[in-house]
Structure 1
Amino acid sequence: MKLRIRNQKDVAAGAIYIAFGAAFSLGALNYNMGDAARMGPGWFPFWIGVLMVVIGAATAAAGMGRRATEDPLKKPELRTLAWIIGSVVLFGLLLQPLGLVLSLAVLVIVSSLASHEFGWKGTLANAVILILFSVGAFIRGINLQIPLWPHFLIN
């Protein structure tokens, strides 16, 4: 029986899961594993990595199954990828000087430029929802010590 890749997207996604899962598991071996009763710092990332490998293998196998729909892998859109990666890098650079609220607004607006269906209403609504959720979860919920606003606005 000859294996044939029918769904290239599933096989590629499975390969990515396998690669990241293997990297997590191998990296976790540098920490004390412990056992099920006394878990060490390497226990959780190791088993999450193993789970990712299993999910990746199942996804890749599904892409090679007889019932898989033909779905070729498209050429990556580098412009879209650049907007998204750039927005995350920009968020990281702006977080301390601008605070959480403004850096999240920049993240959403810049990453929205990657979309072919960009619209200001949806972008601003997404920004408001993400900011409210992040402030509630990270600042109020788990009390992260991240500035909300730039220092020049507070002083």
Structure 2
Amino acid sequence: MKVKSQKDFWSGLMFIVVGAAFAIGALNYNFGSSARPGPAYFPFGLGVLLAILGGMILFEALTIETDDGEPIGAFAWKPLVVIIVSVAVFGFALPRLGMVISLPILVLMSAYASDEHTWLGSIINAVILTAMSWAVFVLGLKLTIPMWPSFLGG
């Protein structure tokens, strides 16, 4: 069988693998019932849906002809490394520096992964994301998240 779209083939395969991994991982938890879903209910359903979506994309990649076969270009290492490092820095900094400092650091570091970012847009994004995160997680959900650096008593 000939692959007619490399991009769709590999993305469909990735969706199937990730969806199956989440569905299989969810089997270690209690499903509960429809009225009282357990911790496995949502990840299992989402994993199955993701795998089905991947199967549909994979089927399309094998059946629908494209002009040039949609080859996969060079792998974008810079954005991958920048995002992984920025998330790791955020995870390390949050308990020590608090959300008011850690979240803007995350946004500003991860914005560097894009070739189209502007500092003004990144700063505005950081301020809005920090305010919304505070409103949702601290005010709304009442989660105990440090807001300020621990050395300031936060």
| Mapped contact 2:29–2:39 kept (Cα < 8 A) | yes
Give the residue type in structure 2 aligned to 1:83. Answer: V
| Mapped contact 1:62–1:68 kept (Cα < 8 A) | no
In the other structure, the counterpart of 1:6 is 4
Give the residue type in structure 2 aligned to 1:140. Answer: L
Give the residue type in structure 1 aligned to 2:9. Answer: V
Q: Give distance in 2, aligned partners of 1:64 and 1:101.
A: 48
Give the residue type in structure 1 aligned to 2:148. Answer: W
**Aligned-pair CA distance for 1:116:** 1.1
Q: Give distance in 1, aligned partners of 2:8 and 2:54.
A: 9
Matches within 5 A, 1:91-102: 91-102=90-101
Q: Give distance in 1, aligned partners of 2:119 and 2:36.
A: 51
Give the SS at the match of 2:98. helix
In the other structure, the counterpart of 1:66 is 64
In the other structure, the counterpart of 1:77 is 76
Q: Give distance in 2, aligned partners of 1:121 and 1:7.
A: 39
Identity within the alignment, %: 42
Query: In terms of mean alpha carbon deviation, does 24-33 or 65-74 score higher?
Result: 65-74
Matches within 5 A, 1:5-154: 5-36=3-34, 39-66=37-64, 68=66, 70-154=69-153
| Mapped contact 2:5–2:65 kept (Cα < 8 A) | no
Give the residue type in structure 1 aligned to 2:13. Answer: A
CA RMSD of aligned residues (A): 2.0
Q: Give distance in 2, aligned partners of 1:133 and 1:46.
A: 29
TM-score normalised to structure 2 length:
0.87
- Structure 2 unpaired stretches of 5+: none
| Mapped contact 2:16–2:51 kept (Cα < 8 A) | yes
Q: Deviations over 1:68-116 (max 9, x none)?
A: 5642212212122111110011100000001112111010111111111
| Mapped contact 2:8–2:57 kept (Cα < 8 A) | yes
Give the residue type in structure 2 aligned to 1:101. Answer: V
Q: Deviations over 1:111-151 (max 9, x none)?
A: 11111123111111111121122111111111110011113
TM-score normalised to structure 1 length:
0.86
